[in-house]
Amino acid sequence: MLHIVDRLAPWLGPGQPPFAVATVVVASGSVPRPVGTAMAVRADGAVLGSLSGGCVEGAVHAAALDAIASGTSHRETFGYSDDDAFAVGLSCGGTLDVHVQPVLPDDAATRALHALAARAAPAPPVALVRRIDGGARTAVVVDDPGTADEATVARALRGLVGPDSLAAAAAQVVAVLRAGGAAPVHAAHGGPGASPSAGRAAAPAPAGTGAGDACDAAEPVTLLVETRLPAPRFLVCGANDFAGALVRHVRLLGYRVTLVDAREVFADPRRFPEAEVVVEWPDRYLAAEAAAGRLDARTAVAVLTHDAKFDVPLLRLALDLPLAYVGAMGSRRSHVQRVAALRAEGVGEAALARLRSPIGLDLGAVTPEEVAVSITAELVAARHGRSAVVPLSSSSGPLHAEPAARPDGAPTHRPHPEEAP
């Protein structure tokens, strides 16, 4: 739900019609959107967001209006069947569990939404933890999820989970916060008199309609943890028309874009209004950002200077950092010369293997806009671990790969591209 919070702000004002939020809480098989994707429906029928490519939205819209009318939360499951694949179901073959929650005055979920919507732009890192079992509507906000420890999270969860299960639930929630994205967490409530098994992983609670926050001693609790991390960074090095097109494209993927060039006459902010523009030698800027801790394993660097005096020192440093993507523009001849220069500077073969040069996929791109599409397509493939890219019409297998497993065994879900700066 975090990816639509900013757009929900006008719906939270006084005198606005009530609304409900439908959120994907379980996704399996080939599905178009990950866990945490949300769609809001107002009592007057207005809609924000979507959950699929369009195949379940009608049914979700009706379920949301029912939740508004009843004032209770419930869960819906949508999956493939031969009989209704093109009616109400996912014709792509996957299954979605959707939690539908009315947003009512003065409940904890509403207060959490108000707190999130009130945060100043750009949206800071934050996490939202909601109970999604039965009719519960409790929710809490966790600030700065990347650094929150188990003790901090346990204090935040006191209203959602009983004391006997608090430590186990906090540990699971912290694992999700560290991984990013969104994932469910299961625990026993573990209130007074709970059985010794309280605190161990429990099965998801069945869908129900009971409202309120009261919990039985060993009632299973299911939490949905959603994180909004700082936008990943994309450094474009070289101020030219190719850079201008690339800046616009990667912004659509949710990156915070910085354009760096040592030539002040070209690095004019008026040419690149969608980016932060820095006049500096790119290798010096990259070194300073790395030393300040402002780069991470999601950071991407595209070297478009096409000039050895800029390219070689910059790439030597970039390939020594744990970055997600490092690419350099140029012909195949330029690539051979560049690699030779990097070897002469002591760059090893393992680091050179990480260099995407010539940058982009082979789409036959010519114009700056086409080259930008080529580069962003390669970036998307790299983000999802696709090394061999072919037309979908010429391949087989699922279109949407299953999320990779986290070290704690829970799935890692794809971050939303809407997590923009």
Q: Tens digit of pLDDT for each residue in 27-37?
A: 776 666 788 89
267 residue type, one letter: A
Summarize the confidence of residues 131-154 as an average pLDDT.
84
pLDDT at 352: 96
Which helix (H) or strand (E) is 411 found in, with range?
Answer: none
Domain boundaries, the chain: 1-105, 108-229, 233-394
pLDDT single digits (tens) 197-230? 333 333 333 333 333 344 444 567 889 999 988 8
Return the CATH architecture of domain 233-394. Answer: 3-Layer(aba) Sandwich (3.40)
pLDDT single digits (tens) 399-421? 655 544 433 333 343 444 444 44
Interatomic CA distance for residues 364 and 154, integer angstroms: 54
Decide if pLDDT at 186 tops 60: yes
pLDDT at 54: 67
pLDDT at 204: 36
Contact, 3 vs 108, CB < 8 A? Answer: no
pTM: 0.73
Decide if pLDDT at 77 tops 90: no
Decide if pLDDT at 394 tops 80: no
Collapse the DSSP code of 33 into the 3-class scheme (helix H, G, I; strand E, B; otherwise coil) and give the result.
coil
- What strand order describes the sheet that includes 139-143? 139-143, 126-131, 220-228, 182-188
Q: How confident is the model at residue 354 (pLDDT cuts 50, 70, 90)?
A: very high
